[in-house]
A and B are shown apart, each in its own frame.
Chain A
Amino acid sequence: MALLEVENLQVHFRTPVGVNRAVDGVSFHVNEGETLAIVGESGCGKSVTSMSLLRLIPEPPGKIAGAIRFGGKDLLALSEKEMRAIRGNDISMIFQEPMTSLNPVLTVGRQIGETLRLHQGLDAKAAEDKAVEMLTLVGIPAPARRVREYPHQLSGGMRQRVMIAIALACNPKLLIADEPTTALDVTIQAQILDLMRDLKQRVGAAIVLITHDLGVVAEVAERVMVMYAGRKVEEAPVRELFANPRHPYTQGLLGAVPKLGSSLTQESSRLAEIPGQVPSLTRPIVGCVFAGRCAIATDICRAYAPALEPKGPRHAAACHYALKEAAAA
């Protein structure tokens, strides 16, 4: 059985210019111990999706509809108090900005220990001991000294390690990582990804990884879901997606990644770009959400929204023209 099942998730925000349909009818699932990557460019609704899993969307102006079932329980039906018992305990989250996501006036140990005291009822002493243990686990040198330090005394990479330590302190079943490496140097990125992969094996948590970095996806994810303008446009196992992208948007994303060994002077190896920008989500979109930027769009695309259809083994895409087999494309 799937650990997390999201069905027809809709996250809408009331704004002065109309209702913003940030996420509009997205369904997906995550199996136990699995890593699902959600990719897409800025504003496609991937962060909103991740925040809504923990019900961290302020309501109002936001509104979450659909169903989010975690271990069989519908999270949207829980009271705020029941939801709090899940946050940081069964499901925890790592954020994009390690520089600003830690509280600057509380010690690192306090911030790690807090979840332990809250969810596992540890006393202050035991929580601090466990915090030292967690810092050791995430590879921070001199953990006994570091627990007493404040975030500003740590580097960006160290802070993200602390965030991971906070997130993993209560042995969550599901870890949501929202662009965990985006704000870090490339070398630190690699270290953090290694750490996440390593800890995943040890802790056995499932991961929902939100990113726009396809390199990160290739390295850690098992399955990929591509989002565009608040909808899911394609989903496939990671190898399958990289080998046979069906949706023109996914093809565009992959085309925009520089390849090793290509030179800028060769015309053929120029990076492809996806022209145009994400459509406004405050107006209802008729037809395919990607039609306005799609090179192969026709009148059908502009009139009817394509349904998400199977395009291969465990592979689905929402495109009128994505053919069943890659060979035909």
Chain B
Amino acid sequence: MLGYILRRTLSTIPVMAMVGLFVFSLLYIAPGDPAAVIAGDQASPEDIARIRANLGLDRPFLVQFGEWGWRTLHADLGTSIFTGLPVTQMIGQRIEPTLSLMVLTLIFAIVVSVPMGVVAAWKAGTWIDRGIMTFAVLGFSVPVFVIGYVLAYVFALQLDWFPVQGYTPITQGLGPWLGNLVLPALSLGCVYIALIARITRASMLEVLAQDYVRTAKAKGLGQKDVLFLHALKNAAVPIVTVIGIGIALLIGGAVVTESVFAIPGLGRLTVDAILRRDYPVIQGVVLLFSFVYVLVNLVIDILYTFLDPRIRY
């Protein structure tokens, strides 16, 4: 078990290296010359060349990549071209709202979607099942920003239950923090809920037809134990997998959600950085998101072995 965890953890290193190479190549793939952007409209070719030399952009690709990689390993993501601040500092300032939003959405989505899928599978073919699945299709089809604006209109503007937009740090109290995040988490969670509920239903349907579910009933277990213990644990692997894959949805959705609800998080930072061609910031944010994604899926791979004792690598 320990050996597996170690091997699996080590295997993320080449993955992260590939991600690093890709992220660094962004600079070369993307159109536009950062040196020209920094220099401004009035700059002469000599000015641009000088800036390029200062940034190290005139050196060979691999040398630049090596240096960048080395610095990155030491938690130095460079400085923003636009603000001149270290990228790590900029990310540090923006990470709390995004992390709060993502964790809250994740918890909320799992707590809602898994029971939904289980009930839908249990009541398969009835109006309860159809109702849940209709909601799931809706949740998956309507874009995050539409749901966001509708929720903000109804619950913030009309009913005045929650603030329309903005963010309150958790240090200023749990209530205000949560109040600001409820609507964003709801709108971001819809797609995720739909995805997890559908997979949960499909996976549970398969498991509920198995002989051991009949055995569990023959033992005299109640419906709750049969569904949530005997069946769900067997159905868990695909569900946990899709939760991990869905983190990507969450990251993409967070960028949009933060714009809709004016949350000063990493999503906004990313959008701003892209508009300004602030490459070090873009690189830093993309690298961070990739790292989170790889980390989550590492945890999930390790979780498999706890969920299903037959899984050994």
Contacts and interface: CB of A to CB of B under 8 A. Distances in A.
A124 to B, nearest CB: 14
A101 B211 contact: yes
A152 B308 CA distance: 11
Contact of A104 (B214, B217, B310): B310
Contacts of A88: 218-221
B221 A106 contact: no
B308 A118 contact: no
Tell me which of B222, B233, B309 has the highest count of chain A C-beta atoms within 10 A of its own C-beta. B309
B221 to A, nearest CB: 7
Interface string A96-126: 0100111111100000001100110000000
Contacts of A100: 210-212
A152 B310 contact: yes
A87 interface: yes
A101 B214 contact: yes
Interface of B: 210-212, 214-222, 230, 233-234, 307-310
Contact of A150 (B218, B220, B222, B310): B310
B218 A103 contact: no
A89 interface: yes
Interface residues of A, number: 27
Contacts of A102: 212, 215
B121 to A, nearest CB: 14
Contacts of A54: 218
A319 interface: no
10 contacts: A84-B222, A87-B220, A88-B219, A95-B215, A101-B215, A104-B212, A104-B234, A105-B310, A114-B219, A118-B219
Given A105-B309, A150-B309, A84 B221 contact: yes
Interface in A60-109: 84-89, 92-93, 95, 97, 100-106
A56 interface: yes
A166 interface: yes
Given A97-B211, A101-B214, A105-B307, A114 B221 contact: yes
Contacts of A114: 219, 221
Contact of B218 (A87, A105, A106, A118): A87
B220 A105 contact: no
Given A88-B219, A101-B211, A101-B214, 16 more contacts: A56-B217, A84-B220, A84-B222, A88-B220, A92-B219, A93-B215, A95-B218, A100-B211, A102-B215, A103-B216, A105-B310, A106-B233, A115-B220, A119-B220, A163-B215, A166-B215
Contacts of A119: 220
Tell me which of B216, B220, B308 has the highest count of chain A C-beta atoms within 10 A of its own C-beta. B220
Nearest to B308: A105
Closest CB pairs A-B (n = 3): A87-B220, A88-B219, A88-B220
Given A84-B222, A87-B220, A118-B221, A103 B309 contact: no
Given A101-B215, A103-B230, A105-B234, A118 B220 contact: yes
A88 B217 CA distance: 9
B55 to A, nearest CB: 55
A20 to B, nearest CB: 18
Nearest to B216: A103
B234 A103 contact: yes
A285 B215 CA distance: 34
A89 B216 CA distance: 13
Tell me which of A103, A106, A119 has the highest count of chain B C-beta atoms within 10 A of its own C-beta. A103
B270 to A, nearest CB: 40
A87 B219 contact: yes
A95 B211 contact: yes
Contacts of B217: 56, 87
A88 B221 CA distance: 9
B74 to A, nearest CB: 43
Contacts of B216: 103
Contacts of B219: 87-88, 92, 114-115, 118, 166
Given A86-B220, A118-B219, A104 B211 contact: no
A104 B308 contact: yes
Contacts of B234: 103-105
Nearest to A93: B218
A302 B105 CA distance: 69
A102 B234 CA distance: 12
Tell me which of B210, B219, B222, B309 has the highest count of chain A C-beta atoms within 10 A of its own C-beta. B219
A56 B309 CA distance: 29
Contact of A92 (B212, B218, B307, B309): B218
A150 B311 CA distance: 12
A106 B211 contact: no
B310 to A, nearest CB: 5
